[in-house]
Amino acid sequence: RAQKLKMLDAADASKEHDVGQVGDIVSIDPSVVKALQDDAFIPVVSPIGFGEANESYNINADVVAAKLATVLKAEKLMMLTNISGVLDKAGQLLTDLTAKRIDELFADGTISGGMLPKIAGALDAAKSGVNSVHIIDGRVPHVLLLEILTDQAFGTMIRSH
C-alpha cells in the first residue's frame, strides 16, 4: 500500500505542496516476490504503489528497494547508480559507512540532493536487519561480480554499526 507524499513548505510548515502522484510506502506484501523466487524467477519490481482507493503513486525506487530488502530479510542489498558511491566533500569515495558517520554526513551537508533518499533508505535497511547495503556504479562492467567476489571496494558499503 501507498499514500500520497506530503511535502511541507520550508518557510511555513502548516502549508503543503501538491507533488502530484508521488507517494510513500505504507506497507509491502512480499508474497508475490517470494513466490517468484521460489519458482527460480528473478523478480523485477516497479516502484508504483497503490492507495486506499486504488490510485497509483510513483515511489522513489531506492526507497522501495530498501523496504523490500527489509521485508524479505535480505542479507545484502546492492544499489546500482551512476556514481562510484558516497563521496566526501573533496570528491573522494567513502568505502565503509556506519549509521553514526552517515548522520554526520547528513548534518554537514555532504550527503544532499538525490543521494538523500538513497542513503536514508539504505540506512533504514541496515538498521532493520539487512547486513550490508552496497552503493556501486552500475556503469562499471561486471561491477556486481567484482563487488561480491573480490576484496576490493567498488563503491560504498553501509552498515548499521
Alpha helices in the chain (DSSP H): 31-38, 61-71, 99-107, 115-127, 143-149
Domain 61-66+74-161 of CATH type 2.60.120.1060: no
Tens of pLDDT, residues 36-81: 999 999 999 999 999 999 999 999 999 999 999 999 999 999 999 9
Domain with CATH 3.40.1160.10 in the chain: 61-66+74-161
Tens of pLDDT, residues 14-42: 888 888 899 999 999 999 999 999 999 99
The more confidently predicted of residues 103 and 11 is: 103
- Rounded to whole angstroms, the Cα distance separating 15 from 1 reads 25
What integer pLDDT is reported at residue 34 of this predicted model? 95
* Residue 48 Ramachandran class (φ > 0 left, ψ -120 to 50 alpha, else beta): beta
Q: Please state, for a pLDDT cut of 70, what percent of the chain lies above it.
A: 100
Written as one letter, the residue type at 157 is M
What integer pLDDT is reported at residue 20 of this predicted model? 87
User: What global pTM score does this model have?
Assistant: 0.87
